[in-house]
Amino acid sequence: MPICGIMISIMTNSKIKLVKIPGNGKGIVAQATIKKDEIIAEYDGQVVHLHSKWNNNLADHVIQFAPKSWRATNGLAKYLNHSCEPNCGLLGLFTIVAMRAIRVGEQLTWDYEMTENNKNERWSMNCHCGTRSCRKIIGAYRHLPLAIRRKYRGYISSWLVEAKIPYVKRT
């Protein structure tokens, strides 16, 4: 009999929980210590394309994995907020992993420009993450400065790394 158990991926790490974040809706915090590179959650849901039927809920909760394709999630991955000083990043296309050790009670975040590169400049958001390195406007990987790309090396979505997208200053 084949061992099927090892084929089942961990969709959501049991060390995380959904909480209300003051002033920022919902978010994910650690309820146990998380190790560097531990899998946090995965985008495992519906695939949508540029010309699919979108609604706001979908648009706010998908991850980009190709020039015109995004994926939603059934689990908690969609509740991870953006930060300009994140503690999580991407493994491959759909898996959120810890970029460093995370303490109990710490909010888990990733940088949305690790995955997004919509051609449409309207696809951006104002960031109020409050970190010292806050870039204020978040939207597309092409605007992610090279120094930050180097800092995120190994944790940027593989579709963006493979596409070798040059840096473009935000105007």
Q: Does 114 help bind Zn ion (rule: CB under 5 A)? A: no
Query: Where in 56-95 is the site for Zn ion (CB under 5 A)?
Result: 84
- Touching Zn ion, residues 125-144 (CB under 5 A): 127, 129, 134
19 belongs to the binding site for Zn ion (CB under 5 A):
no
Q: How far is the CB of 124 from Zn ion (least distance, A)?
A: 12
Rounded CA separation 101/117 (Å): 28
Rounded Cα distance, 74 and 95, in Å: 13
d(CA 29, CA 36): 15
- Residue found by looking up tokens 């105007």 in the block: 171
- What one-character DSSP code corresponds to residue 81? E
Indicate the residue among 91 and 148 with the shorter CB distance to Zn ion: 148
- Least CB distance to Zn ion at residue 24 (A): 11
What the block records as the tokens of 40 is: 């946090």
Where along the sequence are the contacts to Zn ion (CB under 5 A)?
84, 127, 129, 134
